[in-house]
Structure 1
Amino acid sequence: MTAAGTPDAAAGGRAARPPRPEVPTRLLVHALVREDGTVDAAELYGVAGLLGMTDQQVRLCVKRLVADGRFTQDGRGRKAVLRAVADPTGALAPDAEYVRHAYRQDAGFAPWDGVWHLFAFAVPESRRSVRDALRDTLLHLGAAPLQGGLYVTVNPVTGIVEAHARHLGVLDSMTFLTSTDLRIGSVTDPAALAAALWPLPDIATRYERLTTFARHCLAELDAPRDAESTEPAAAGRLATAVELAAEFTRAMNPDPLLPPELLPRPWPGAHARRLIADCWQRLRGTGTDGPAQLRLFRLYGDTLGAPPEAP
């Protein structure tokens, strides 16, 4: 049996395909931006069809992106060419440095130093939007709320938080501190604290889903191509790449990247990330036409293409 509980191919036929990841149409458009900043509409509609999207969905999404000033459009329909006005790679995946840190942790190159990083702020109700932006920044960086206006993380992100607070004009309202003896009530054990502060079961479930999908992708990439298939090889690889990007992002974005010392064992995150790196290397090795010219491949290839360096 596989991790998803479906019969393995070796036990009598190829395993059933797991449910397709939900791919936002906007992410698909961003994923198909080439190195020259263009999107070929014919390719966009073709890959969208493989992902179960309708032409109407694509048209509406393109219209919104153009109205938002993210793209310009030359031509109409499948003969159109979209041109990115702003760098769209931020819409594709977690920050590259964040992903590299995850792989360094997996390789044992980023052990925890036992330090908790705490951030406190008091922003008045009259500046609610600023307060919400600061809170969202902390949550995005993996911090967890301890109580009103007080957040904690295990990663040294003080410089990033300070830069955001300065940009928002609330640096004078913030307190930065570190501790090696955090206690919540009577709980002092670091692993128990982590389990109380972060939704680890939910994060693990996302990684288990990612593992199931990555295993299926590897099986598909290794399988001989059906000579009777009408699906263009390049379009199929693009569809797989976009689905991988969507599922990887879904698993990683809520992950505070706790060090292994604070996680339950076994933890599915490291294994899922290894499988994703394997998938990406197979995809990059399928040729230099089409897919390899996308920013999506550069983004993931540069991040996952080499083993993490030792300090």
Structure 2
Amino acid sequence: MRRFSALPDTVIPSIKARLDDFRQQRRVQAGSLIISVFGDAILPRGGRIWLGSLIHLLEPLELNERLVRTSVFRLAKEEWLRTETVGRRADYVLTNSGRRRFEEASRHIYAAHAPLWDRRWRLILAVGEFDPKDRERLRRALFWQGFGVLGADCFVHPSADLTAAFDALVAEGLADHLDRLMPLLAADSRAGLSANDADLVRRAWNLEELAKAYAAFVATYLPILAELRSDRQLEVGAEDAFLLRTLLIHDYRRLLLRDPELPDVLLPVDWPGQKARLLCMELYRRLLAASERHLDQVLTLADGSNPAPDAAYAERFPANDPLLSVAL
């Protein structure tokens, strides 16, 4: 198997430190990382890839071939992916449900700002009996969609698409439980922010924990952006750009999955979420061109062709977005 060099000719210390830190982890959730790669790099190029190509892409992060194969097989079993045979090889292709889940997540990940709040709360009520194991599966599945919990039987979100939320539960293997769930919209008829809204937020979400996670993200990636800003002649190698872009989006995606994206009026002062969003936007744009060159060389299909990115790809974190000029 081809072994890619871990570092480009020009070594950028902050990038090397981040990549080395990832490589030194004792345990890597390879399936989750592969999901991030599919959503960020493979979906815009048709949503399919030859397994050997995926192994080549992830090898420099020290994910070995066996781990990648095992993780991909598991994603296929969970109906994120399916196989299409091409001669003696096969492509792994996003299923329709997998594609819908990625596209929904992309609308949040690559947006310039959080959704506007219409002052209506989205509720999912558990109105039937659940055994403890299934209730915990439901709680975790909705937690990773940003839902907060009120008591044992009520899940709440300020802006979620309830149809998409139920589709995601089906994808998580909870289809048999949907008849015991009731989706509702609730609104406070009083003008302005009510005490009830603020109290609901305090009870439903642990914002302190989420704020710490956002602060850690900023502390990890801001030094890299500062180094790139300090020297306009500094160029990131194509492979390192792809690897860092992958970790950046992976880490940011994991944060957004937990984040209900509350409106500013419901957030604490100096909330770090917007700073993290701006940081991710600017760093992603700086890595994009070089990382795409790497994908042009390495991302291949079973027939040996290299799929080009879709034109809609340019809509992600657009370069002319005024928010990119905001100082971090």
Give TM-score scaled by structure 1 length.
Answer: 0.66
Supply the AA of the counterpart residue of 1:38.
Answer: I
Write the letter of the residue equivalent to 1:17. A
Q: Post-superposition shift, 1:197?
A: 1.9
Contact 1:214–1:272 (8 Å) recurs in 2: no
AA aligned to 2:211 is: A
- The two structures, once aligned, show a CA RMSD in angstroms of 4.6
Matches within 5 A, 1:81-92: 83-87=91-95
Structure 2 residue runs without a partner (length 5+) = 1-11, 300-306, 324-328
Aligned partners of 2:166 and 2:29: how far apart in 1?
32
The one-letter amino acid paired with 1:305 is P
User: Quick check: 1:152 aligned with 2:161?
Assistant: no
- Change in Cα spacing, 1:67 to 1:150, as seen in structure 2 (3 Å) is closer
Q: How does 1:292-307 map to 2 (within 5 A)?
A: 302-305=315-318, 307=321
Q: 1:278 offset after TM fit, Å?
A: 0.9
The offset of 1:255, in angstroms, is: 0.6
Q: Provide the C-alpha distance between the structure 2 equivalents of 1:214 and 1:300, rounded to a whole number of angstroms.
A: 23
Match of 1:26 in 2: 31
Instruction: Give the unaligned 5+ runs of structure 1.
Output: 1-12, 227-231
Partner amino acid for 1:119? I
Aligned to 2:302: none
Matched length? 277
Measured at CA, do residues 161 and 82 of structure 1 come closer, stay the same or move farther in structure 2, by a change above 3 Å?
closer
CA distance 1:233–1:164, shift in 2 (3 Å): closer
| Structure 1 residues 120-174: Cα deviation after superposition (integer angstroms, max 9, x where no partner) | 2312348985x66765554344322212322222225445457789975755862
Q: Show the counterpart of 1:205.
A: 212
1:285 counterpart = 2:289: yes
Q: Indicate if the aligned counterparts of 1:237 and 1:291 stay in contact, CA closer than 8 A.
A: no
**What is the distance in 1 between the residues matched to 2:217 and 2:179?**
38
Give the secondary-structure state (helix, strand or coil) at the position aligned to 1:239.
helix
CA distance in 2, matches of 1:296, 1:258: 36
Q: Highest CA radius of gyration, 1 or 2?
A: 1
Query: 1:237 aligned to 219, 241, 251, which one?
Result: 241
Bigger mean CA deviation after superposition, 49-58 or 270-279: 49-58
Q: CA deviation at 1:116?
A: 3.2
**Is the contact between residue 123 and residue 173 of structure 1 (CA under 8 Å) also seen in structure 2?**
yes
In structure 2, how many angstroms separate the alpha carbons of the residues matched to 1:296 and 1:275? Answer: 27
TM-fit CA distance, 1:217: 3.7
CA distance in 2, matches of 1:164, 1:61: 20
Are the equivalent residues in 2 in contact too, given 1:206–1:250 (CA < 8 A)?
A: no
CA deviations on 1:90-122 (whole Å, 9 max, x unpaired) are: 78797123336x6333xxx72x44433433231
Question: Which residue of 259, 265, 277 corresponds with 1:261?
Answer: 265
CA contact (8 A) 2:126 2:181 kept: yes
TM-superposition CA deviations, 1:175-222 (whole Å, max 9, x none)? 62514289xxxx935334313320111111221122123324435656
Q: CA deviation at 1:28?
A: 4.9
Native 8 Å contact 1:204 1:268 kept in 2: yes
Q: 2 CA distance for matches of 1:246 and 1:134?
A: 23
- Report if the CA contact (8 A) 1:33-1:39 is conserved: no
CA contact (8 A) 1:134 1:164 kept: no
Alignment of 1:1-311 (within 5 A): 17-18=17-18, 19-20=21-22, 24-29=29-34, 31=37, 33=42, 35-36=45-46, 37-39=48-50, 41=52, 44-61=54-71, 70-71=82-83, 83-87=91-95, 95-99=105-109, 103-105=112-114, 110=116, 112-125=117-130, 129=134, 135=139, 138-155=142-159, 157-160=161-164, 170=178, 174=182, 176-180=184-188, 188=195, 190-219=197-226, 233-286=237-290, 288-291=292-295, 302-305=315-318, 307=321
